[in-house]
Amino acid sequence: MSAPLASAKLLHKQLKEMQTDKDLASISAGLVNDNIYEWEVILMISDDCKFYGGGFFRARLVFPHTYPHDPPTMTFETPIWHPNIYPNGSVCISILHPPGEDQYGYESASERWLPVRTPESILISVISMLSSPNDESPANLEAAKQWRENPAEFQKRARKCVRDSLEG
């Protein structure tokens, strides 16, 4: 079985599992243009999340043909103000970084992409990241600075993202 065929088969299985798992009611996933390598996801954030609770955030997962050996990329399509999300929506989280040792020594190999990770585990990690940003390694420097220095203003801006997500 060729690599793209094997990865497509695995992704079909993982998508079906996510769509039928009642414990994942807060995550919706489907294909973009019937392409198994591109998923649209909607994260419905529970009210427990201090900053983004009640929001509906659309994002894309794009998987390489070398999946699960290499990580997908994740990009929010709904604008979101967060230290670990670049202004263009790209998510910066350790588990989506290429496998192996970090050339800068910041992350251990076990924190980075591992083939045992699944789309489900990625999305759960991203939801967790929304509540607990890593401001030591920010993708959005302004958001990280505001998170540290002016939490009230950060919360105000995050809540605006939630309101906007419900209108779009």
Is 92 marked active-site?
Answer: yes
Three-state DSSP at 62 gives strand
Q: Which amino acid is at 86?
A: Y
Catalytic residue among 80, 92, 96, 161: 92
Q: What is the DSSP letter of 116?
A: T
Sheet holding 27-32, edge to edge: 27-32, 35-44, 56-62, 73-76
Residue with tokens 């103000």: 81
Six token digits for residue 69: 């050996």
Six token digits for residue 57: 């955030």
Three-state DSSP at 81 gives coil
Six token digits for residue 138: 């920010």
Catalytic residue annotation: 92
